[in-house]
Structure 1
Amino acid sequence: METIKTATSNTAKTSLKDKLTGAKLQLIVMAAAIIIIMLFFSIMTDWAYLSPRNISNLFRQTAITGILAIGMVFVIISGEIDLSVGSMMGLLGGAAAILDVWFGLPLPLTIVLTLGAGFLLGLWNGWWVAYRKVPSFIVTLAGMLAFRGILIGITDGTTVAPTSQEMGIIGQSYLPNMLGMMIGLGGLAMYFAWQQKRRVTRKQYGLPIPSATANLTKHAAIGVAVLAIIFILNDYRGVPTPVLLLATLLIAGTFIANKTQFGRRIYAIGGNLEASRLSGINVERTKLSVYAMNGLLVAIAALILSSRLGAGSPSAGNIAELDAIAACVIGGTSMAGGVGTVIGAVIGAFIMASLDNGMSMMDVPTFWQYVVKGGILLLAVWMDSATKANR
């Protein structure tokens, strides 16, 4: 019996070590990719790429793709896909612009109606996938076409503009410098306190914990990075409101994925559907909830997009679903389901936004931008397939 316990303990430790090693390697690869991308574009643009104004614009670009990626990562982890998020974002953004411009509704009511519509559209996709057993690829492909058609129909193929100044607050406003710094410091303080509590709990139950030196180095690096970003953004106009929304949703998404029963069920369903069903998990209800949550996040991204553009456009959100999927895969999410992280998806979104921003500054032709992004997506999926056996 003692031998079995020892073997089990060693196996668990080895598994944990492998997971930590894989996570560290993935983080190192993404960090190296970001450094190489930013260094390349900085040299090619005579360092204009690293100007505070462009960094601010880069983070604002990341916000929309990042929010879409947060919703998409839960869908992919559950073993499904959503090809309709780009058209859905365009439709919801167009509807928000119509409510604001044509009907003159107050901003709070426009926000509530847009979020409600996004939730219902997510439920619609989820109902077909979860309860009608139609493959998610077909359901969301149909949604991609239908939502785009509805958008063109309700806007009559014209741009709905200009949106009100109140609407512009969502996507065009900035936090005052002092407020942005206070929020950053407060967030770091809460994060460090939570990490310390987690460390004490793991030590209490005899679970492996990183060394104090490694822990201090990690916390110092995170603190320096966050404060440096805030200083750079404050050097231009302050922290953009969309970036604050992205950070808030990132924290909420990470908490849902790691600390809730709902999040654990999503991973279980994506890892082994039949085992999850036999263990008592309501697979249909969980998948329906995942799609509803995704629809809600798409609505938030739609509000930011329309606010930033100051209009609702029939072409808004075109192929945004590919950017969201690519961000998830680059961030380590497996297309087979059961594997992925919210923070990885957001970092992947930042990489995609960095490429878009840099190629635009270099005046790279649009067709080459599509080619580069398509190649990166193919490479990321190939790497996922190549490492699937090891996982």
Structure 2
Amino acid sequence: MKTIDDLASGYSDEPGYFDFAKWGPISTAVAEEQRSLVEVQARARFGSEIALTEQSGRVGRAISSLVGFAPDHVVFQPNTSEGLTHTLFGLTGQVLMSPRDYPSMPVAATRSAEALRVLEPVWMDLDHDVVTPAVVQRHLTDAVTAVAVSLVDYRTGYLVDLEGIRQVIGDRLLIVDAIQGFGVVDAPYAVADVVASGGQKWVRAGWGTGFLALSDRALSALTPVFSGVAGSDLALGGWYHDRQPTLPGAAAFQVTNPDPIAQARLATALEDIAEVGVAAVSRAVAERASRVIDLADEFAVPVVSPRDVSERAGIVVLEPALDQMTTLTAALINHGVTATVRDTTVRLSVHVSTGDESFEMLRGAFTSFGTTVFY
């Protein structure tokens, strides 16, 4: 079994990278898997297609092992947004959600409401800008059929309490956009009905990778509106003017045949994580996030993201005084620190490969910042 150090040694990202919440540099194993299958695809030797077609089953098993849903209840998606679009266009009734979540979910909900007129988004008023069980409970009515949340808020780094939300919503559908926590949060996905995520961030499988996982309740409630050729139970060579039946299970929620090399990248990344264990990855990421918080405190850089380990994952958000934002941003750039800067905040995000050299670079940036700021 691999250790955290083994997993970390499989990444080759340069020191100073603190932007895994935006995208994660792919691992050496993922890059090698891609190269080998590109070679197969380029040469097209007799029988080589098998190496490509078998990736569908492989990635399904890999997703299943981390989410805990049966393989026939998960399906590969090219990104989180497509999985959420499948979900929200297939849903009927009122869906309760935050207007501050990453746009993938709110946009899909409003597009569905406008196009099909069978879904109605209900927007939460947030306490302290985060979604909690108490906030959800306050907005529940008999008309609400589903609740949609982000596992980790992309702006604040807040880790939602899935089990608490499940307790207050009863048997309503619980839809989870897991992109900002999947792979680094040991989340109780079993309480959810829909889990959608991509592999380009914390999983580090690159763009074009993701999945949709559906419970029995979700499969019964959702209509596969965008079920295309890959999601249909049809025989090629026939007539297609009649309605084509969809495949059973989550497989119905596909449009066309996926990229097998993208499937292989995601499978490779998930297999490596599974070998170490998400819980171990979560602990390592939490320790590194704590180091960022400690450094920020040392140099009096305000931290506005959660400090409690139970309420955060790999994201730390800084919010200096408005007139100090440019100075802090320049210090990070000058010391080679990659981060996400938005309006009044700086978002730093860590992974198991964030090592001592990266923290020394961050210390250097904070030192420069501190020497140019006068109180």
State the TM-score, normalized to the length of structure 2: 0.26
Task: Tell me which protein shows more helix as a share of its residues.
Answer: 1
Per chain length, whose mean CA-contact separation is higher, i.e. which structure has more relative contact order (CA < 8 Å, sep 6+)?
Answer: 1
State the TM-score, normalized to the length of structure 1: 0.25
Task: Tell me which protein shows more strand as a share of its residues.
Answer: 2
